[in-house]
Structure 1
Amino acid sequence: CVTVWSQKIKQIASFDLIDANVTSLNRKVRSVHVKSNTSKKRALKILIGTEGSEIYEISTQTGNISLLHEGHFEGDTWGLAFHPTDNDIFATCGDDGTIRIWSVRKRKLSRKAKVDCSMRAISWSNDGTELLVGCGGNRSGKREKKDGVVRQKYV
């Protein structure tokens, strides 16, 4: 939640990232920047950086909350694979437990899925209709229940 206060510490507005056009996997706010209209002394736009590596823009006039950018968070990105038939698409996975499908041309994320394990490898099926991921490993070096599991059906 992001709250705007007056100089007299009175609440002016409040925005919840759950209302964003794309919801966050980890909504904890890590940084805030305000762009204001100096002549009217009021905030116009607020940029929010989250623990989930997302950047949102909030319009204080309309209340719209838009996702500007996102990426992997928590740990490392381990797997990367280009689509076998479409050079515009590639997929990534990693310690954050997400599979992400990206567009090279648009330079942005197209889709994402949350999985209940860390992943170390990713590969497309030959026809590009399925993604395979190899689960396992974590930063502590301890074994996980799903180590060595291969999962599919994420497209």
Structure 2
Amino acid sequence: MQSTATSIDVYLEKISAEKKDSFAKLRENILENIPNGFVEQMSYGMIGYVVPHSIYPDGYHCDPKLPLPFINIASQKNFIALYHMGIYANPELLKWLIKEYPKHSTQKLDMGKSCIRFKKMDQIPFELIAALVQKMSVQEWITCYESLIKK
């Protein structure tokens, strides 16, 4: 479910009360740990962390007018979602996440290709997410992305 919010502040205002504190903590965790160069903005109806055109002028191959997406966070109906393109594109990073997750949470890892779903707000592994966010620099993400897209 994508939001129609036009700004991060509007998006944050619309988050339900039971998710608001956990979502704010997740956002703050990402902002404190994301490598330099990524920019926070609305992206695909979610809060996104992207490589801006000033760093990567080619933009996203699906729509070059858009900056290259990296991480998104969203408040969905029944969970908070963290979308991390790096775990989708880099098998080693995914392998690391799967190995590390049980060390940080008693909950089973609930994920899709790039999406990690958190259904219990008190079980979000913030320390693990901080480490995950730090794992790829802007340049490492661009290199990974281009290795898959520009074949």
Q: Same fold (TM over 0.5)?
A: no
For the pair shown, the structure with the greater C-alpha radius of gyration is: 1
Structure (1/2) with the larger strand percentage:
1
User: Which structure would you say has the larger RCO, counting Cα contacts within 8 Å and 6 or more residues apart?
Assistant: 2
TM-score, normalised with respect to structure 2: 0.28
Structure (1/2) with the larger helix percentage:
2
